[in-house]
Amino acid sequence: MSDDIFIFDESGTILKGIKDKTITNITIPNSVTSIGEEAFAWFTGLTSIMIPNSVKSIGNRAFEHCTGLTSIKIPSSVTSIGDWAFSGCSGLTSIEIPNSVTSIGASAFWGCSDLTSFVIPNSVTSIEDYAFRDCYSLTSVVIPSSVTSIGDWAFCECESLTSIEIPSSVTSIGDYAFFGCSGLTSITIFNGVTSIGDWAFYQCEGLTSIMIPNSVKSIGNRAFYSCSGLTSVTIPNSVTSIGDWVFADCRGLTSVTIGNSVTSIGDWAFSGCSGLTSVTIPNSVTTIGDFAFENCTGLTSIDISQRVNSIGKYAFSGCSNLTSIDLFSFSLKSIERYAFYGCTSLTSVKISDLCQSIERYSFYGCKKLNRINIPLSINYIGEHSFDGCPIEKVTLPISAKYHPNSFDKMTNIENFKVFISYSWDNEEHKAWVDKLATELNKYVYVILDRWDLRAGNDMAQFMEKSVSQSNKVLCILTPNYKLKCDNRQGGSGFEFSLISAEIVRKNPSSKFIPILRDGDFDNSCPTALGLRFGLDFSSNAPEIYKKNFEKLLSEIKEEDLRPN
């Protein structure tokens, strides 16, 4: 073949193109050391080409869209293949890359739709971005231990790829690396990979399981989104956060193990995982994002870490088979809007004593939730929070603000009541009781005879209702109170006969709280109160009173006093 048909640079060593594009078979002359950029680009009639051992590099887009080319052999003299070098060579079925090649450029084989197999030489250190994108017929690829990174979109839409091994030399899997590899059923990631990029395995619908090695520290957003065949996954202890949408719409996922180092679960992380029946969230987790488990319709139970201080909006909305949720021991300050919206099987909810607000629509439509204990720490309940819940009666702290439609229209709403039982020892004692009642009334509805008993009222009926209908009864202990109670003398004695009867019926009960004001517990506590734990308010020191008042509030709220 005459050299006259070729176009060279001034040195005659770089092949820049060809004059006659009707030629189908080409042999490149031995004088050429480099095939230049776009030298044969869009030469669709080219069916075969011989590259001599003198060639050291193949330039960018050198054979782009040579759709008639079916096979090519790269000589061992070549060390680099440029960006887009063989992109769009849709007829290419095989290519041999020698070990002399150290770099394969970005998009080098993008769109080689008939390429069925590829062996990456062990001299290559990275698989660049888009390198094999849209190689629809690629069924196998061998990644050598020399490779340290897999670029973004590297194997995107390689839908015939069924299995792949990522060696321990690889430290990062790029964004979209295996996006849409729907035929991928098996992937082995050896210890060494530290990061899995965003969308890395999106819509790998044939993937049934994956073992994420302990070397992985971060899993990108949407990494396994819509892997509908995935049935189980274990997130290792090396991972500290689960990103947004990571396992969203993995409908076949039935088992997930979350490592003990994970501190946050991102927005939509497991949204739509309808096959998931139970989840245990470890103690390391403090944050559950918005929509995190939305529409996990198979979820029946979830064990949430007590360190969780934030559960996002819609976090468990639509979990129609979730039957109970325990948030009692949490440092959770707020239940966000729509958090448990439409959890139609929910029958039991326990809310933390540190929680301050229940936002709008949080339990809307939980049609089996017929009881709820609202802690005294709650100061706001949003609109429609419990609408559609068949709760007949609810007791609220006096400080709680709520909308007229916060509860179902059939719900009977009452304030949390505390009755104070005491003896009128002297004016100083009555003033102290009045002070205690005034401060408590900021948090609960306090019933005090000097406030609520009016002239002409039936005293016996007032005392009966006060004891029976109150949530808590404070017994202010003094020697005189003990004397009157034990001997059933006066108003205090009658009150205590009612208290004693209730203690007998409901024993043991935490409803009655002894408060020592004067003397000691032995000479001031009525016999019927027995060995009940009490609080010592006998000191008048302001700092001691403040500390004891905080303890009293904790007892009234029945807070969990165990350290986290």
Q: Could you tell me which of 59, 84, 89, 54 has the C-alpha nearest to residue 72?
A: 89
Q: Determine phi and psi for 258, rounding to 5 degrees.
A: -105, 125
Exposed (0-12), middle (13-18) or buried (19+): which is 324, by Cβ within 10 Å? middle
> Helix (H, G, I), strand (E, B), or coil: what is residue 183?
coil
Q: Which architecture, in CATH terms, is 231-322?
A: Alpha-Beta Horseshoe (3.80)
Enumerate the H helices of 371-516 as residue ranges.
Answer: 427-440, 449-452, 459-469, 479-486, 490-506
Q: How far is CA 516 from CA 65, 471, 475, 482, 502, in A?
A: 92, 20, 8, 11, 21
Q: How many residues does the chain have?
A: 564
Angle at 491 between CA 487 and CA 493, to 5 degrees: 20
Q: Could you tell me which of 456, 333, 340, 434 has the C-alpha nearest to residue 389?
A: 340
Burial string for 268-292 (b: 16+ CB within 10 Å, else e) reads: bbbbbbbbbeebebbebbebbbbbb
Angle at 148 between CA 144 and CA 153, to 5 degrees: 95
Q: How far is CA 173 from CA 152, 155, 415, 474, in A?
A: 8, 11, 57, 64
3-state per-residue secondary structure call for 51-65? CCCCCCEECCCCCCC
Largest CA distance in the chain: 128
Tokens of 116: 């069925």
- The CA distance from 269 to 292, in Å, is 5
**Cα 34 to chain centroid, rounded:** 53
Which long-range contacts does 528-531 make (Cβ < 8 Å, 24+ apart)?
528/485, 528/486, 528/496, 528/499, 528/500, 528/503, 529/475, 529/503
pLDDT at 564: 46
State the Cα torsion 517-518-523-525 to the nearest 10°: -10
pTM for this model (two decimals): 0.76
> Helix (H, G, I), strand (E, B), or coil: what is residue 34?
strand
Close Cβ partners of 476 (under 8 Å, ≥ 6 residues apart): 420, 421, 422, 423, 433, 436, 515, 517
If one counts every other C-beta atom within 10 angstroms of the C-beta of residue 508, the result is 8
Give me the residue spans of the domains in the chain: 231-322, 417-557
- The CA distance from 36 to 39, in Å, is 5
pLDDT at 179: 97
Amino acid, res. 244: D
Strand pairing of 94-96 and 71-73?
parallel
**CATH 3.90.950.20 at 417-557, yes or no:** no
417-557 has the same fold as 231-322: no
Q: Could you tell me which of 174, 171, 137 has the C-alpha nearest to residue 154?
A: 174
Tokens of 523: 């000479």
- One digit per residue, the tens of pLDDT, for the chain of length 564 reads 556 889 999 998 999 999 888 889 999 999 999 999 999 999 999 999 999 999 999 999 999 999 999 999 999 999 999 999 999 999 999 898 999 999 999 999 999 999 999 999 999 999 999 999 999 999 999 999 999 999 999 999 999 999 999 999 999 999 999 999 999 998 999 999 999 999 999 999 999 888 899 999 999 999 999 999 999 999 999 999 999 999 999 999 998 999 999 999 999 999 999 999 989 899 899 999 999 999 999 999 888 877 888 899 999 999 999 998 888 766 788 999 999 999 999 998 988 878 899 999 999 999 999 888 888 888 899 999 999 999 888 888 877 888 878 888 777 887 788 999 999 999 999 999 999 999 988 888 889 988 888 887 888 888 888 888 888 899 999 999 999 999 998 888 888 888 888 877 764 568 889 999 999 998 999 988 877 788 999 998 999 999 999 889 888 876 655 554
